[in-house]
A and B are shown apart, each in its own frame.
Chain A
Amino acid sequence: MKKLKLIFTISILAAFVYSCNNSAVQRMMEEPVEPERSVGFTNWSDDGVEYKFHLGTDAAVQVVRDLDKVWSDQDWEGVRGMLSDTAKFYWRNGNVFSVDEFMTQISSDSTGSATWKFNGAFSVDLDPTRGGEHVHADFSVSTKTDSTTVNRDVLERYYIIDGKVVTWHQYSIDVK
C-alpha cells in the first residue's frame, strides 16, 4: 500500500511537470504572428485610420518589370494589357492622361528618341490586408531633340492592383 501511494504521488508529480511544459507549447502555438514592421506616415486615408508603410511584394514589382519590357519592345498591346481601364497618368510636365491618351502618346514618335536604363524598383504597401501596392521605379533617361540630348533621372510611382496599373505618377530631376 505504501508503495502504491509513492508511485501514485510521483506519477502525479511527473504528470504535473509534463502538463506545465505542454502548456508552454500550447501558448507558443497560440501566440499571434506579429505583423510585419512598418514605418513612415501618409495623409492618404479613406477611413480615418493612420497608416504606415509596409514592404510590398515582388509580384507588384514584377508588373513594372514586365511593363518596362513590353514598352522597350514597343509592344503597345502588351502595355495596354497591363493598364486598368480607368488608369490615370500624371506626367512630370503636368499632363494628365487617360488610358487612350496615354497609349496615343507613347506609341507616337516622341518615345522613339528616348533611351533609358532601369536602375531599380521596390514596392511599399499601406495596408497589406487590402489590395494595392505602390511600386517605385528609378530610370536614367536620355531624350534626343534635334541636336541636343537631355538627361534626366526619372522616379515613377505606380499604384498597382491585381497586376494592373491604376495610377502612374512621374517625377524627374535634370542631370547636368
Chain B
Amino acid sequence: MKKAQAGTLQSSDLMVFLEPAETLTVTIESAVLKQFGALIRAKVDEVLARHGVESGEVRITDRGALDYAIEARLETALARATEA
C-alpha cells in the first residue's frame, strides 16, 4: 500500500487519506460524529474488510456524506493506494 487520497472538503462529501502502517487504525472527524459516527465507522469497516485491508492508517474527514459516497471515496483511495 502506498499513500493515497480521495474525495473533497465540500459539503456532503468526505476526504479519505490512506497511509501505510503496521497496524490498522481508523480515525474519523465529522461534524455529525455524535449522530452518525458509529454508522460511518461501520461502513468504513465493511469496505476495508471486503478489500481485505488489515493494516494502514485510514483518516477520514467527513462533511455529512451519505453511505454510498463514503463507500465510493474509500474504494477510490484503496484503488489508488494499490495501483502500480
Q: Do A and B come from one complex?
A: no
